[in-house]
Structure 1
Amino acid sequence: MYFNSALLASLTILAASAPTAFGAPQPASTAISEGDKFGAITIRSGSEIQNSAIQAAQRSLFVNAKSQNATCASETNSATFYIQDQELRLYSSNDPLNQTIFVDRSGMGMGKIGYITGNESLGRYWETKGWALTESNELQFHGTGIQACPGSIDGGWSIWLQGVEKPGYNENCTGVVAAAYKTDDPIECVYTH
């Protein structure tokens, strides 16, 4: 009887800690509201991009690039975001250079995620509205997560919307969770364009 109780208690503790032990995303401890500034990391247990900060450079999003080459208020190699009216934006107080994330889900775009600066025109199939955070603070576009593809600039991985096996004809892409975390001390940047 004692053995069964001890075994049950051990299994309960193991089950409760399993998501953390295996790298699955946890429910967010801090809710992120519209307009709050946040960073995001990729979650893919056992991969070289586990817990890698999402970066912005050259009109695209990346992880594990050596540098974003952004002009920032202080040193950082990760992007700071916020969501306003379902648009995902890069954080900067420079309104004329406001940078907004777009997704191209068309057959030619293949789930391309990039950003525009200021009042640049959107491409024909580019969409900016539809970004949201789930209850566990996973960043999604119209309910769809992201994937990362190796072999991009600076040794980084390019970020694409899930749903196409070889987006942009990239090989060996892997689905990841984009886990957002609130930052109380956001760093303003103007990212390369």
Structure 2
Amino acid sequence: MYTNVLSLAVFAGAAMASPCKPSATTSVPAPSSTAVAPGEPFGLMALRSASPIHFAQFGAAQSSIFLNLPAQNATCDDGTKPTEANYATFTVTEDGELYLFRRSATPQQLYVDRSGMGQGKLGYTTGAQPAPRNGERTAFSLDENNNLSFNGAGFIACPNSIDGAWSVWVDAGVSSPGGNSDCLGLNARAVKIADAANSCLYTS
């Protein structure tokens, strides 16, 4: 639990000038009460009280989304070593499209597959790569409390994924998506980044 609290302090603090270079701190600042506007970069943290994922950071790697991923191996514009980039930065458009924050011409856009095969799969594509056959892209939104949802649905996290991380899915009415077990529902809270966000290219 200490690790999660420390991560939140790094993640949600006012000193998030460079999200790929977190610095240690001992307090846990409250997330900003200011609404995240379309186009503004933000991080995401999981809220699920009394669980291993409470305050966990959302990370991106291998075209998927995770919680408590030790290393994303992302390449960031400021030259940060890949192992130091341990959580992802996002941005949402007015049209409900969710992207991994990137200033270059190589976008990384998220999608959701709520089909019987996808069961709420949450992933991202890189560049001109199309979404999977049943992938949906344009129903992400933030509410007045900066909680992220997809077409009104929340999120589920399942343990025992890569490097001990939790895989993140959209709640498509399947309690154990992808054949996983011991999955937990969660709120995904957006945390506005106070200063200019550093953009990263995440692995695909």
Residue 182 of structure 1: aligned partner:
192
Residue 155 of structure 1: aligned partner:
164
* 1:137 and 2:126 correspond: no
Residue 20 of structure 1: aligned partner:
none
Letter in 1 for 2:66: F
Residue 202 of structure 2: aligned partner:
191
1:27 offset after TM fit, Å? 8.8
Q: Could you give the per-residue CA deviations for residues 20-79 of structure 1, whole angstroms, max 9, x where no partner exists?
A: xxxxxx995111110011001001111111101100000000001111111113443110
Letter in 2 for 1:152: S
Give me the identity figure in percent. 47
Residue 164 of structure 1: aligned partner:
174
Count of residues paired in the alignment: 167
* 1:35 and 2:39 correspond: yes
Equivalent-residue separation in structure 2 for 1:167 and 1:187 (angstroms): 33
Q: Could you give the per-residue CA deviations for residues 7-27 of structure 1, whole angstroms, max 9, x where no partner exists?
A: xxxxxxxxxxxxxxxxxxx99
Gaps of 5+ in 2: 1-29
Equivalent-residue separation in structure 2 for 1:36 and 1:109 (angstroms): 29
1:187 offset after TM fit, Å? 2.1
Secondary structure class of the residue paired with 2:153: coil
Contact residue 43 and residue 177 of structure 1 kept, 8 A: yes
Letter in 2 for 1:52: A
Residue 19 of structure 1: aligned partner:
none
Letter in 2 for 1:91: F
1:123 offset after TM fit, Å? 1.4
**Higher share in helix:** 1
Equivalent-residue separation in structure 2 for 1:68 and 1:76 (angstroms): 6
Equivalent-residue separation in structure 1 for 2:182 and 2:200 (angstroms): 31
Secondary structure class of the residue paired with 1:82: strand
Residue 13 of structure 1: aligned partner:
none
Secondary structure class of the residue paired with 1:151: coil
* 1:61 and 2:70 correspond: no
Which structure is larger by alpha-carbon Rg, 1 or 2? 1
Residue 90 of structure 2: aligned partner:
81
Letter in 2 for 1:126: G
Residue 11 of structure 2: aligned partner:
none
Picking from 49, 54, 72, the partner of 1:50 is 54
1:134 offset after TM fit, Å? 0.8
Letter in 2 for 1:68: Q
**4+ runs deviating over 4 angstroms:** none
Contact residue 73 and residue 85 of structure 2 kept, 8 A: no
Gaps of 5+ in 1: 1-25
TM-score for both structures, normalised by structure 2: 0.79
